[in-house]
A and B are shown apart, each in its own frame.
Chain A
Amino acid sequence: MKEIALVLLTIIIAPIIGGILTGIDRKITARMQNRFGPPILQPFYDLFKLFSKETIVVSSTQILYAFLFLVFNMVALVMFVLKMDLLLILFVLAFAVTALILGAMSTNSPYSRIGAHRELISVLAYEPVLIAMIIGIYFVTGSFKIDDVIKHNNFLIFELPFIFIAFTYVLTIKLRKSPFDLSTSHHAHQEIVKGITTEFAGPILGLIELGHWYELVLLLLFIGLFFAKNIVVAIIAMLLGYFLEILIDNISARLTWKIMLRLTWSMALGLALVNLIWVYIKYRVL
């Protein structure tokens, strides 16, 4: 019974937090660019407007994919809140992205197809790092279950500093922020229009937007995992981490996918591996 209440609470509260964070993002971004910026609640107004619009589509299957994107993100977040297996959460998260990619590929639109393939390249870039992160956590805490990870008696960040850096690195890709906002940019009309979301409009785009908010909350919770010993520290770390992403977003220009792939596979994966090997030796060999 308690679990059902928790699940419902998560499903209701997460998008509110996600929306507010997005609003804060827009405000901070505006201030960094010497603009006044929209009100904090602007994302909600946007979302309501999207849902009040007429449903227009290129292909009716798009609705399904947008829905799946939302549902998989929701399921992943709920699994996190229920403290389930980290690896399975990651897989579910990967399927959310898969649904979005398939949605973009289902139309014959050149822009959305380019966006879809760029998203696919992003998956290729961040997926190994994310799994490496989970394995690192496993070596330190001896469990894949969030339940046990939270009970660990130390801050994970002390054991996994490099993995944390690698994670914040790929977080930029996962949040689709500059310099890695290849598949879709959230800053107006750019080189590939809106990439993966080009062909989505109205309520269907609204579903995707909502999915993004769940995704955002989940990814920030992953940051919190590294500081899980103390809840206050964890929240501060999550907010700081988010601010850092906004900062990077505003001070960098977009890179090409080749550079992204090379950088993540050498730098981020390299850092993660170094960390992984030392915790392996520490906890498994010694």
Chain B
Amino acid sequence: MEYIYLSLIFIPIIVAGLIYLFNNSTFRKAIVFLMSAVLVVLMVFAILQGDKEVKLSHALNFALEYLITFADYFLLAVIFLIGLKLKNNLISLLAALQFVLMFVFEFRAGKLEVENVFYVDHLTFIMLMLIDVIGPLISIFALNYMDEHEKHLHLEKSKQNIFFAVIMLFLGAMNGLVLSNNILWVYFFWEITTLCSFLLISHDGNEQSIKNATRALLLNSLGGLSFVVGIIFMYYKSGAIALSEIIRSQDSSILMIPIAFLALAGFTKSAQFPFQSWLLGAMVAPTPVSALLHSSTMVKAGVYLILRLSPVYIDSWLSNIVAILGAFTFVAAALLAIFQTNAKRILAYSTISNLGLIIALSSVANVYSIYAAALLIVLHGVSKALLFLCVGSIEQGIGSRNVEDMDGIKYKMPIVAFLTLLGSVSMLLPPFGVLITKWIAIEVSTQNIVAMLEIILGSAFTVVFWTKFIGKILSEGKDTKRIEVFEGLRHLPLITISILVILVSVFMTQFTNAFVVPFFKSSFARYSGVSSRALKDLYIKDFFGFNPFVFFGILALAVVVGVILYTLLRPKRYVKVYMSCENDDNFSFRAEKDESVELEFKNYYFETLIKESNITLISNIISVALIAIMFGVILK
């Protein structure tokens, strides 16, 4: 059955090649649809196979081993050349260092074969669902979006073949990353995602996008180097290069150093402080790219790696510090989000913040925190995909991504505005799941008082920036002319994702029992007597008394009561807003000589209180210090 896993990796890569070769719009649409269907079916088959460690036939394994080793060096050489072309010596240096280290390591270590090529457990399933459902939906949305996008750019020749080819390659690489057992393979796919993100961010080819893409490549190359160092330490400390062996390793203390390096690589990929700048820069790319990077690919690779490795270091000093680091990113990014007027930047900071929370949750030694971490990966993935695509549509509709220009968006673009509302409400309010994970985070982090305090503050900041954002979406505007028309290719993926947003929150406990509990059972066997407990004992009925069915039931009831109340209290008369009786309509008032002056009211952004750049600087310094402390504790 190993062919399912192989096809999950190689079909998107082959399709990428085809899309690149045939630059034809109809062909592209057909093959994207076809491949989406194929990926979903393959994913379902892969999940039906259950937990597995898969061996390949000797010849196939041998061939793949050579292919990937060769491709890996080729990839590093490509990054090296890109560095040269961008005249950024640091990138070239980092690529060269990885190349040399890898080469010497592989040369000296000799045969680094792993017998079980694929390590498939329930965490893999969770990631596969995210990649192979959300990823294709974003690609389908992009079909329509990119046509519009290129119209704006007035290109002579469409560059969409490159764009979609890279996206397909990206999805294939992500599948490879979560399926591989050999950590060298994980590293290879990790590097492909780095390259893909560079290509996607620089897609528009203007000065700014190239600059931001360069930064992304630089920071991720740093992470790549850390990954290589981690692998080498891992091999010399324990002789293990298979993830399955590492997770089951009995002596975690000798593994601390490699884990710390791998965690650092995870931080760069997940854009944790002080590496957050690349993800913020990434929003210059077309919106489907942001949606992809923020929800189902790229940044999720980082938290995946950390959650994957957490059984090894949980309940140690390292896990305490990683929890503090993650929680620090949670609070700092939430604070910075308050200062943003640019909708995409608000979303980007919110992503960084949530990833910090996932990392903190992965590192707190508690059953529920692991459940919440896995759950948040999914909840955040679907909600953020929806939000980015919606904001992208709004941007194409009104020509601005500034929140201040979104007054009256509920009239101009009702469908997208409603879906944006759903997305942002799902990130903030009950009964949606993101709030529940925050709640779990506070309740379980009481053993790590520093992380707990950070989460408390971050939780307050989160309320502030989301409320401001939601308030804008719901606000009245002068211009109420509807500009939105229903487009199947654009709106159907959005509606599908929003249904997923609701479903994952409604079936939160069922999802946890079906996917997260088996992952916990198999991976955390070593941790405080998990192995002796039956799977049944680990199942949950609810999260600390929060039952989604009850709460969604109350919500449905509230809607019914609300409608009845509305008909009872139906407004008899509409009036103008109060402006000391000096207004003709709701949007302007009479000033001097009865001249009409348009009213302008902006959200508060607290610039007078403290400067955004100062907060960024201080946060970066603190996070660098924390990382230094992390290595200081580990290195003996």
Contacts and interface: CB of A to CB of B under 8 A. Distances in A.
A44 interface: no
Nearest to B608: A258
Interface residues of A, number: 61
B460 interface: yes
A25 interface: no
A211 B587 CA distance: 30
A102 B467 contact: yes
Contacts of B439: 87-88, 91
Contacts of A84: 545
B569 A132 contact: no
Q: Which of A108, A193, A273 has most chain B Cβ within 10 Å?
A: A108
Contacts of B477: 108
A108 B587 contact: yes
The 9 closest A-B pairs by CB, nearest first: A105-B471, A109-B577, A127-B460, A57-B571, A117-B604, A131-B456, A56-B573, A108-B476, A108-B586
A167 to B, nearest CB: 15
Interface of B: 407, 428-430, 435, 439, 442-443, 446-447, 449, 452-453, 456-457, 459-461, 463-464, 467-468, 470-472, 474-478, 544-546, 554, 558, 562, 565-566, 569-579, 586-587, 599, 601, 603-604, 608-609
28 contacts: A54-B573, A56-B571, A56-B572, A58-B575, A64-B562, A88-B546, A95-B429, A95-B430, A98-B463, A105-B472, A105-B474, A106-B471, A108-B586, A111-B578, A111-B579, A117-B603, A120-B464, A123-B460, A123-B467, A127-B463, A131-B456, A131-B459, A135-B442, A135-B446, A135-B452, A144-B544, A199-B578, A276-B453
A109 B578 contact: yes
A58 B579 CA distance: 12
Q: Which of B447, B562, B604 has most chain A Cβ within 10 Å?
A: B604
Contacts of B587: 108
Nearest to B470: A102
A180 interface: no
A110 B579 contact: yes
A68 B562 CA distance: 9
A203 interface: yes
Nearest to B585: A108
A63 B566 contact: yes
B601 A110 contact: yes
B140 to A, nearest CB: 32
Interface string A111-141: 1111011001101100110011001001100
A215 to B, nearest CB: 17
Nearest to B442: A87
B11 to A, nearest CB: 44
A63 B586 contact: no
A85 interface: yes
Contacts of A121: 604
A68 B429 CA distance: 12
Given A63-B571, A91-B435, A199 B474 contact: no
A60 B571 contact: yes
A228 interface: no
A108 B576 CA distance: 9
A261 interface: yes
A117 B475 CA distance: 14
Contacts of A77: none
Given A91-B435, A114-B601, 15 more contacts: A55-B570, A55-B571, A58-B575, A87-B442, A88-B439, A95-B429, A98-B467, A102-B474, A107-B586, A109-B579, A110-B599, A123-B463, A124-B464, A127-B459, A261-B609
B574 A56 contact: yes
Contacts of A276: 449, 453
A48 to B, nearest CB: 16
Nearest to A110: B601
Nearest to B546: A88
A280 B569 contact: no
A252 interface: no
B604 A61 contact: no
B475 A108 contact: yes
Contacts of A33: none
Contacts of A105: 471-472, 474-475
Contact of A92 (B430, B470, B572, B586): B430
Contacts of A110: 577, 579, 599, 601
Contact of A94 (B442, B463, B601): B463
B285 to A, nearest CB: 31
Contacts of A273: 453
Given A67-B562, A106-B474, A108-B587, A280 B449 contact: yes
Q: Which of B442, B446, B467 has most chain A Cβ within 10 Å?
A: B467
Contacts of A111: 578-579
Nearest to B468: A120
B429 A107 contact: no
A277 to B, nearest CB: 7
Contact of B569 (A55, A61, A88, A113): A55
Contacts of B463: 94, 98, 123, 127
B569 A203 contact: yes
A198 B452 CA distance: 38
Interface in A169-197: 193
A95 B407 CA distance: 23
A132 B456 contact: yes
B578 A138 contact: no
A261 B428 CA distance: 23
Contact of B456 (A128, A139, A193): A128
A95 B566 CA distance: 20
Contacts of B562: 64, 67
Contacts of B449: 276-277, 280, 284
A57 B407 CA distance: 19
A138 B452 CA distance: 13
A78 to B, nearest CB: 11
Nearest to B476: A108
